Amino acid sequence: MTSTKTLTIDNFIAGKWEGSAERFEVRDPGRTADIVATVAVADAGAVDRAVNAAHAALKIWSEVSVEKRAEAVLHAADLIEAEADKGLDGLVGVVVRETGMLPAEITMEFRGAAFASRDNVEAARIALEPRIIEDEASIVRIEHKPIGVVAAIVPWNAPIVLLIRKFAPALVAGDTLVIKTPPTAPAGIALLMEKLAPLFPEGVINVVHGGAETGAALAAHPKVRLVSFTGGGVAAKAIMKTAAETLKNVQFELGGNDAAIVLDDFDLDGQIPTLAAGAFHRSGQFCFAIKRLYVPTSIYDAFFDKLAAHLDKVRIGHPLHPETTFGPINNGAQLSYLKGLIQKTRDAGGELIELGTPVSPETWDEGNYLRPVLVKDPGPDFDIVTCEQFGPVLPVMRYMDEDAVVELANGTDYGLGSSVWTSNFDRGAAFARRLEAGMTFINKNAQSRLGRRHMPFGGIKQSGIGTENSELGLAEFTEIHAMNFHKV
């Protein structure tokens, strides 16, 4: 079992740890009396020192060849994978304690982060290659240059992999980083970056901690040229307003109200576990989780019963308990929001079915625990249908007409992910093309290994600006320099 000692986490600036008078506590979501870490708050002065360190290092790192930058990022991938191999004895244990996610989930997150590093190196060898067009009169040459200092603002739900999806493309592109950690899960990021920093010139990687004020100071800093933010729409709008003052670029991966549409040829016996994972993996705490589920009337009752029976097998408890298959909610604020949403649904007349069994009922109140909940036949205007839950509460609606269900699925300001569930690939692909989303998955609400390398990850409408992954995502961390040579 991982250590339960309290960590001291400071800001990491120009290769050195830097404390502060103001600190905050990070608590174990499954046992909130336990303090995982005390963490230094980065005030405006600390943010300025971090950005200036990154800006100074930019002059060195941007001149390093793409090949050498790629070597460093690949070495980083090896170190990240080594942490996955250590299990609870390494940083996996730290991240389990601060996020409340299961050890297997965090181990796979580290492995996914290593994949993301290698994938971005592969993408860079294509995306950063100059493009040359020539005719008898002139030559056009288009190059991608580093954009500069990148502020990477990371959420709590998958802090390692979501950071590395910014870290890897930024560094292989020649940029430098100031990372702002999430207040409820900062420790794993800071300790991982300490391990990776020696691979790069001093100041290339900097880490600061804090809340909205720290993020605002980063977004306002004139030497930051890109803010890459994963989180919620309210914070994104505030960042965008601040960033406008210095006309810096923004890249946002935001929330969703992701619809899943089951077609009438769905395999009731074989696909239920996969679909359930698409909504309830990480206790529903991931951005592209299924938030709304539409099922044909012809199979609705049988489908609902099988889904409920599957979810009723989960064991809810502390992630380090060997019998736990379903972990807690990360923080008290999110737990309170979800409980309020459940109560509003109940008050509106919704039929709620709570499922699963607590591992330790006697310690239930010691953590941020919530059983998975299905909502049967809610009205289309119920808050549970129109919002982003970000937790294990799923509305299941019935439909009769495919055109009508497409209209319902698209009738939202969000557009992150979506999914279609069918036994017929061609039918699923045709249906997917009608959905308004940045991404559509067919028969699994997740990216395959091929998808993680080549599928741009991002949303449309209120779900984001720009994209991550693939050559398209890497290009967001660059600026274009075009040249036109005249022969005559």
Which residues are part of the catalytic machinery? 253, 287
159: alpha, beta or left? (left if phi > 0; alpha if psi -120 to 50): alpha
> Considering just the CA atoms, what is the radius of gyration of the chain in Å?
23
Q: CA geometry: angle at 427 spanning 422 and 429, to 5°?
A: 95
* Residues linked to residue 124 through DSSP beta bridges, in sequence order: none
Select from 78, 65, 66 the least CA-distant residue to 122: 66
Cα-based torsion angle of the residue sequence 300, 302, 304, 308 in order, rounded to the nearest 10 degrees: 180
Select from 267, 275, 291 the least CA-distant residue to 392: 291
Select from 197, 228, 251 the least CA-distant residue to 61: 197
Query: Cα 238 to chain center, whole Å?
Result: 19
Locate tokens 């809340």: which residue? 211
